Amino acid sequence: MRDAFADGQGPRPVQGGEQNGRGRMFQGCIDLDMATPVEASAIPDVLFERGLYWASGRSGVVNLVAAHKWFNLAATKGRADAIALRREIAAMMSEAEIAKAQREARAWISAQ
């Protein structure tokens, strides 16, 4: 939405009002016409990073199904190194877990 603000300065935090101890809440519009698009090459990198996140246990939990899913998606988007990591993860999984990861990857692609 263009010209959402009379001063042309764009979105600003709310002045006053309820803050619930969590700082100021954003209220405004994002100008999609002026937004910078994400580089197409960034998408496989983000998917790959999600695989690393779940494979490494950075969240405090190792989730091989989720790691396989994200490495699979990164591989389909062109990250060749994701293929080797997906194979490594798959070697530690049961066939049922691999099937679940593949279903989740297909569901993610379908939702896009």
Rg over alpha carbons for the chain, rounded to the nearest Å, is: 20
101 and 66 within one domain: yes
pLDDT higher than 50, residue 16:
no
104 and 49 within one domain: yes
64 and 12 within one domain: no
pTM score: 0.64
65 and 29 within one domain: no
- Find all residues with CB under 8 Å of 23, minimum gap 6, and list them: none
The reported pLDDT for the residue numbered 112 is 75
31 and 46 within one domain: no
59 and 20 within one domain: no
30 and 48 within one domain: no
Q: Return the structure tokens found at 19.
A: 């803050």
What integer best gives the mean pLDDT of the chain? 78
52 and 76 within one domain: yes
Q: Which has more pLDDT, 75 or 27? A: 75
Residue 68 domain boundaries: 42-111
48 and 68 within one domain: yes
Q: Return the structure tokens found at 70.
A: 């994200």
Number of folded domains in the chain? 2
